[in-house]
A and B are shown apart, each in its own frame.
Chain A
Amino acid sequence: MLKKRLIISLTFNDGILFRTKKFLPDYRYTKNFIDFWTADEIILLDVSRKKKLSESFLDIIKFFSNNCFVPLSVGGGIKSIEDVNMLFKTGADKVVLNSSTYNNPGLINKISKNYGSQAIIHSIDCKINSKGKHTVMVNNGSLDTKYSPIEWADIATQNGCGELLINNIDNDGSLLGYDLNLILSITNKFDCPTLALGGAGNWEHIYQLFKITNTSGACTQNIYHFTNESLKSAKNYLKNKQILVRE
C-alpha cells in the first residue's frame, strides 16, 4: 500500500535557512542538522527575490542531491525554461511553480512537455480576503490574483502539473493546524495527489490531515528540529493511529 508522506519544506534566502513566519532567519538550523533518512521527501524554496537563480541556492540543491537520496523538489523565483533546465541539471527531481504561472503562463506547459507532468508540483498559496473567502496569492504572497483556489488548481492541472501543494499563507508558521476545509475542497475535486503546507504544530495536526482528507503528503517547516528523533516520533504517532507511513 502507498504510504502517507512526511515532507520537510525548507525556505532559503541567499543560501541561509529561514523559518517561515515573516521569513525570520534562524542560524541554529543549518543543513547539517537535517535528517535525510527519515524524511520521505524534501522541498527547497528560495525567497531571495533575485533576477537570476542564486548561486548559493544552487549549491544547496547540489548538497541535498548528493546526500539525501530522497525526492528533491525545488522552487522559488523560477522564470524561464532555462531556470528549470538548470535546476534539473543541478539535482532537482521536481520543480515547484506558482508565480510563473501568473507572470509567464506558457511556462508550465513547456516544462510538462519536456520533463513530464510528474516533474511539476504546483503551489496554491491562499489568503483569506476581506469577504472571508480564499484568494490565490503570487510573488511571495504580495500580489492577489483574485483567482479562487479551485480556479488556480484548474489552470495548474490542465496545463500539466503532477501534484498540488496547498498552502494557507495566513496559517504559515502559526502552528495552529492545517486549513482542512481548503485542503478538503481541492483534494476531493482533483485527480492528482495533493500535499498540505502551513500550520502543523503537533503530530495530531498531521494525523487529522490524513484522517479527514485524502491528502498524500504533509509538509512541515517549523515543527521539526531536524533531528532523527522528532521525525521518527511523528511517524510512530501516526503509525499507532493506523496511518500508513514508511519506517
Chain B
Amino acid sequence: MSNINIVDIGIGNIASLCSAFEKLKISYKLCKTLNDFQNNSKIVIPGVGAFGGFMKRLREKEIDKLIINKAKNNVPILGICLGFQILFTKSNEHGYHKGLDLIEGEFNRIDTTMKVPHVGWNECYLNQKNNLFYNIKNNSDFYFIHSYFLKNYNKKEVISFTNYELNFPSSINKNKIFGVQFHPEKSQYNGLQIIKNFAERC
C-alpha cells in the first residue's frame, strides 16, 4: 500500500511532484478514478489550470465526494496551489465557481498595483506553530505562481501569511486538512521538507 494517494485528473504537470516523493523515498500512487484510491492513504491534490475546469473534472469523476468523505473521516489531505484553492467555499475566477467548501473562504483576483500573476520566490511568515512547517525557519522562501488570493478566511486556520503589497494566507490547516498556495515540489529544500512533514507528521 502507498502512503500517499495523488489525485490525477490529467491536468497540468505532476511529474515534478512525483519526483519529489521519489527523492524523499515516500511511496505514492496516482489516482485517476475512484477505484484507484486506497483506504488509510493520505491524499494530495495538486492542481494547475482554472478553478472551474478543475472542479468540473473532479465532479465528473465523483472524486469531489470522495475527498469530502475522506475529510469527514479525518484522513489527512494536502492541497497544492489550485488544489489548495478548491478546498474553500468558492472562487471568482472567470465567473462564480463553487469549491469543495471544506474550509471557509473565497478567491478573488489579485487587486493591487503589483504585477499579476504573482510569480516567484516569496516569504512565508508563520502565524502559528504547525507540524506542516516542522523544521522550517520563519520567513523561508517558497515558489508561488497564482493570480487569485484568499479572502474572507478564518485567521485561526492560517499557518502562514505572505506579502504581495497586502498580506494573504499562503498556507492553511483545519482539522486534518492542509493547503499551500505555493508549490512545495518547486521550492527545493524547504518545499521537500513540507512534503516530508505532511507524509510523516500530519
Binding site for B on A (CB under 8 A): 1-5, 36-37, 40, 62, 65-67, 69-72, 88-93, 113-119, 162-163, 191-193, 214, 216-217, 246-247
Chain A contacts for B163, CB-based, 8 A: 1
- Whether B19 and A66, one on each chain, are in contact in the complex, defined by CB atoms closer than 8 angstroms, is yes
Give the contacting residue for A69; candidates B12, B114, B146, B185; CB below 8 A.
Answer: B185
Instruction: Given A91-B16, A116-B50, A118-B146, verify A69-B120 contact (CB < 8 Å).
Output: no
- Whether A88 and B117, one on each chain, are in contact in the complex, defined by CB atoms closer than 8 angstroms, is no
Give the contacting residue for A192; candidates B15, B22, B115, B188; CB below 8 A.
Answer: B115
Q: How far is the CB of B48 from the nearest CB of chain A, in Å?
A: 6
For the complex of A and B, 4 pairs with smallest distance between CB atoms: A91-B15, A246-B121, A3-B121, A193-B115
Give the contacting residue for B120; candidates A3, A116, A192; CB below 8 A.
Answer: A3
Chain B contacts for A115, CB-based, 8 A: 11-12, 48-49
- Whether A192 and B116, one on each chain, are in contact in the complex, defined by CB atoms closer than 8 angstroms, is yes
- Whether B13 and A40, one on each chain, are in contact in the complex, defined by CB atoms closer than 8 angstroms, is no
Chain A contacts for B164, CB-based, 8 A: 2
- Whether A163 and B119, one on each chain, are in contact in the complex, defined by CB atoms closer than 8 angstroms, is yes
Chain A contacts for B50, CB-based, 8 A: 113, 116
- Whether B117 and A162, one on each chain, are in contact in the complex, defined by CB atoms closer than 8 angstroms, is yes
Q: How far is the CB of B12 from the nearest CB of chain A, in Å?
A: 6
Chain B contacts for A116, CB-based, 8 A: 48-50
Instruction: Given A69-B192, A162-B119, A193-B115, verify A118-B145 contact (CB < 8 Å).
Output: yes
Q: How far is the CB of A196 from the nearest CB of chain B, in Å?
A: 14
Q: How far is the CB of A96 from the nearest CB of chain B, in Å?
A: 14
How does the 8 Å CB contact mask read for B160-202 relative to A, with 1 for contact and 0 for none? 0001100000000000000000010111110110000000000
Instruction: Given A69-B186, A70-B143, verify A90-B15 contact (CB < 8 Å).
Output: yes
A2 to B118, CA, bound (A): 8
A150 to B119, CA, bound (A): 22
Chain B contacts for A193, CB-based, 8 A: 115, 117, 119-120
Q: Tell yes or no: B147 within 8 A of A by CB.
A: yes
A88 to B15, CA, bound (A): 8
Residue count of chain B within 8 Å CB distance of chain A: 37
How does the 8 Å CB contact mask read for B1-43 relative to A, with 1 for contact and 0 for none? 0000000000111011001101100000000000000000000
B164 — nearest CB in chain A belongs to which residue? A2
- Whether B186 and A89, one on each chain, are in contact in the complex, defined by CB atoms closer than 8 angstroms, is no
Chain A contacts for B114, CB-based, 8 A: 2
Q: Tell yes or no: B130 within 8 A of A by CB.
A: no
Q: Which of B12, B20, B146 has the most CB of A within 10 A?
A: B12
- Whether B115 and A191, one on each chain, are in contact in the complex, defined by CB atoms closer than 8 angstroms, is yes
- Whether A70 and B188, one on each chain, are in contact in the complex, defined by CB atoms closer than 8 angstroms, is yes
Chain B contacts for A40, CB-based, 8 A: 120-121
Give the contacting residue for A88; candidates B12, B118, B186, B191; CB below 8 A.
Answer: B12
A72 to B13, CA, bound (A): 10
Chain A contacts for B186, CB-based, 8 A: 69-71, 93
Q: Besides A89-B13, A115-B12, 16 other CB < 8 A contacts?
A: A65-B16, A69-B16, A69-B23, A69-B185, A69-B191, A71-B145, A91-B13, A91-B15, A93-B186, A114-B49, A116-B48, A116-B49, A117-B117, A191-B116, A193-B120, A217-B120
Q: How far is the CB of A215 from the nearest CB of chain B, in Å?
A: 10
A89 to B14, CA, bound (A): 8
Chain B contacts for A4, CB-based, 8 A: 120
Q: Tell yes or no: B122 within 8 A of A by CB.
A: yes
A113 to B54, CA, bound (A): 11
Q: Tell yes or no: B106 within 8 A of A by CB.
A: no
Chain B contacts for A191, CB-based, 8 A: 115-116
Q: How far is the CB of B108 from the nearest CB of chain A, in Å?
A: 16
A247 to B146, CA, bound (A): 22
Q: 7 A-B Cβ contacts within 8 A?
A: A40-B120, A66-B22, A69-B23, A69-B185, A91-B19, A116-B49, A119-B48
- Whether A1 and B122, one on each chain, are in contact in the complex, defined by CB atoms closer than 8 angstroms, is yes
Instruction: Given A114-B11, A115-B49, A118-B146, verify A216-B119 contact (CB < 8 Å).
Output: yes
- Whether A65 and B120, one on each chain, are in contact in the complex, defined by CB atoms closer than 8 angstroms, is no
Give the residues from 108 to 164 in chain B that come closer than 8 angstroms, CB to CB, to chain A. 114-123, 141, 143, 145-147, 163-164
